Structure 1
Amino acid sequence: MKNILKTLLVMSFLWSVPASAMDVMDVVKQANHVSYYKGNDGRAKVNMRIIDAQGRERVREFIILRRNDDDTDGKQKFYVYFNKPADVKKMVFMVVKNMDRGDDRWLYLPGLDLVKRIAASDERTSFVGSHFFYEDVSGRGILEDTHVMVEENDTYYIVESTPKDPQSVEFTSFRSWIHKATFLPIKTEYYDNQGQKIRSYTALKVEMIGGYPTVTAASMEDHQTGGKTLMNYSAVRYNVGLPDKIFSERYLRKAPRKYLR
């Protein structure tokens, strides 16, 4: 944690923001932007280590492609192509984020040559056996929650968010520590109705890539069942020029090799 704080301190000088107080929704919107909408598009190679409560480990490797439809932080598309291990090789997870309705999500299972639609009720379930949820990968709509600024210090805006539809999620609230200079959420903790922490996300490493502050290592820990998942990002690039056509059902079975190298 000390290392990331040193990095963020340096970025505070490079990435200055106005000193005036910010409205909580402005903070949340900016945090959502820098987390999911940097550049017109982007790609990254991801190494995922899934560690259970007994310390047993599984590794997955995949490529994430992401394209924004416009510059309003609205409709957006994700394409996730799995390389390792062998039992998930060529599997594809694709998301089309919609602002006027629920997101569309598909999972292609190459062993069965089957395209499966992921229901909205499955958004808060495990992403390919990890401690991250599907919604953690593509982002949660900021209008799905009510946000309150509970604390502000020299380094962070601390925001508490409460779901507007509590029956649709497993948590009662979550708190985000949003770095004031970069607006990156450095830590997020999810709580149940007893106030017990059930999951926690931590950004472990931040780098400046293509002019954008970027999380290149992160963890998600499950405090109920034990275990955690570590994600490391490499070969991160922005403004790649990804064509819209690759984010379609056709390319679930026919991977866009040019952009996966």
Structure 2
Amino acid sequence: MKNSKLNKKIMMLGLGILMTIPSFAITGTEVSQLARDRDTGKTVMAAMEMKLVSKSGKVESDRRLMTWGYKYDIEKDLSKVVMEFKSPASIAKTRFLQVENEIGRDDDKWIYLPALGRVRRISSSDKTSSFVGSDFTYGDMETREVFEDTHKLLKEEKYGEYDCYVVESVPVEKDDSQYAKRITWVAKESYIPLKAELYSKKTNEIQKRLTVQGKLEKVQGIWSVFSTTMENLETGHKTLLDVAKKDGKYLLRYNGKMNPKRFTQSFIKTGRAK
């Protein structure tokens, strides 16, 4: 009789514990895959503004640039991206090309620096290096494949006005990522990551924080981000990246015609797509 009562108590205690464990209708991996697969258009063109901000809040550099994206293999979801800095004079005509490769191969990256007068290939060992002095690294420019991490849905909560899934992503291969892990707030409606905490391998503390500012809006039917901040919590330095406006309208367009020759080493060297 005593054992029977004890067993019932253990069962009730077990049920009580289970009831406190959150259950989700979606997994962290599913959220990450939906974020990876969201519609970003076959092509995209945007005029951007980049500000480098010191720990004291002083704007160290105010830059203007153009970006172009081109999905060159729709079936395999592979893209090419080009960035061209327009101002100030110290960085004008600097151009960057990134080509996303098939699974198993790192993205190819090249940068043209006018002062050197040549195109330089960015090696895989440069992933942790700063991209043109910003708080983004070359590794931050890449899109990680979902299978490269294990994903755990931690909770559901609001970020600003948006209902979000909060997902922890840990690299399957530690050496394959510059961060120990990422915790990302993904908007439920659009599956756009609105906030990401990037953890240092050395300290296991948050090293950098990426946040989306302002509202999300649809442009040509595609959910879009217009303002992003990358903050290095170790240095206090920030990089602000915004879509520029003209006559009150964002300079952002999707699915327009685009010359594939723009996405070549020849273009980033000469500035001419021919």
Aligned to 1:108: 112
Of 88, 94, 97, which residue of structure 1 is paired with 2:91? 88
- Alpha carbons 2:127, 2:138 under 8 Å: kept: yes
Aligned to 1:247: 263
TM-score by length of 1: 0.84
Where do 1:1-150 residues align within 5 Å? Answer: 21-34=25-38, 38-57=40-59, 58-72=61-75, 74-100=77-103, 101-150=105-154
Where do 1:84-233 residues align within 5 Å? Answer: 84-100=87-103, 101-153=105-157, 155-193=163-201, 194-205=203-214, 206-233=216-243
Aligned to 1:16: none
Partner letter of residue 156 of structure 2? E
Q: Which contiguous aligned blocks of 4+ residues in structure 1 show a shift greater than 6 angstroms?
A: none
- Alpha carbons 2:28, 2:168 under 8 Å: kept: no
Q: Which of structures 1 and 2 has the bigger CA Rg?
A: 2
Q: Residue 237 in 1 paired to residue 253 in 2?
A: yes
Structure 1 window deviating more from structure 2 (126-135 vs 94-103): it is 126-135
Partner letter of residue 47 of structure 1? E
Which runs of 5 or more residues in structure 2 are unaligned? 1-23, 245-250
Which runs of 5 or more residues in structure 1 are unaligned? 1-19
- Alpha carbons 2:27, 2:152 under 8 Å: kept: no
SS at match of 2:41: coil
Partner letter of residue 74 of structure 1? D
Sequence identity percentage: 30
Partner letter of residue 71 of structure 2? N
Measured after TM superposition, the shift of residue 152 of structure 1 is 2.6
Paired residues in the alignment total: 237
TM-score by length of 2: 0.80
- Alpha carbons 1:124, 1:170 under 8 Å: kept: yes
Q: Distance in 1 between matches of 2:108 and 2:254?
A: 24
Measured after TM superposition, the shift of residue 93 of structure 1 is 0.3
SS at match of 1:25: helix
RMSD: 2.1
Measured after TM superposition, the shift of residue 168 of structure 1 is 4.2
Partner letter of residue 47 of structure 2? K
Partner letter of residue 94 of structure 2? M
Q: Distance in 2 between matches of 1:73 and 1:60?
A: 34
Q: Distance in 1 between matches of 2:224 and 2:102?
A: 24
